[in-house]
Amino acid sequence: MTDATFASRYRAVVADRGRLCAGIDPHAALLEQWGLPVSVDGLRAFADAAVTALGPTAAVIKPQVAFFEVFGSAGFAVLEDVIARGREAGALVLADAKRGDIGSTMAAYTGAWLDDASPLCSDAVTVSPYLGFGSLDPAVAKAKETGRGVFTLARTSNPEGGALQTADTGGRTVAQSIVDAAAEVNGDGSGTVGVVVGATREHGLDLSALAGPVLSPGLGAQGATAADLARIFDGSDLSWLLPAASRSILKAGPDVTALVAAVEATRDEIEAAL
């Protein structure tokens, strides 16, 4: 694909467009709010407006795969179009698929989301490390080879994850062990492995050695503010911080101009705070 590392690609787009990952989450309530049917036709109209507005404006766009998958093969066809158009518009496309398995199955997921031959091929994909960080090896290897990225869950904002992610493993939490494993991969300067750390509460992680992006969902509808980001990630390298917002931006639709304005306002608020 490219000789560039994911770190250099990420740095370039953020320098040009600012720090914001804008989600494309076409769930039923938003389709209805936009006056669209909860159907493939509604999905297609929603996705068209969203990628038209967000693709040329946000540094990263993040389609939530589940909201396309619910419509079966027709939904995946719409997702393929979103991915292709987002990348053509200059955004990095992060497929929020949270894939995680072992062996040949993980290799197949890798082929789907990170291989040029696949119509779902994206610039990065979210993955789950909770079958062991080593289970992600096929995705990490392919991402490093092609200048793409993987974003691994570390300390998520959902309360169900707390007991597992904060469990002690002999002096460090499970979540910290994920961050440390990602840092080891990124030791070559590639920035291949980012981590997902929620913005809605204190995380207790040492991110100083990560040398990769930190996707931080929770801005806007989930309650986190730009000021919270500066506080929660104080002491981290904020140039790697990638705050994510979805519903707080998408509620401005279906008007494309209003969506662009919402992206720009959110980005400017983040940049002012950080």
Active site residues: 98
1 alpha carbon, distance to own chain's centre: 20
Q: Using DSSP, how many helices (H) and how many strands (E) does the chain show? A: 12, 8
> Which helix (H) or strand (E) covers residue 24, if one does?
strand 21-24
In this structure, are residues 83 and 50 in contact, taking their beta carbons and an 8 Å threshold? no
Q: Report the greatest alpha carbon distance in the chain.
A: 53
Backbone angles phi, psi at 54, to 5 degrees: -85, -35
How far apart are alpha carbons 109 and 83 in whole angstroms? 16
State the pairing for strand pair 149-155/193-197: parallel
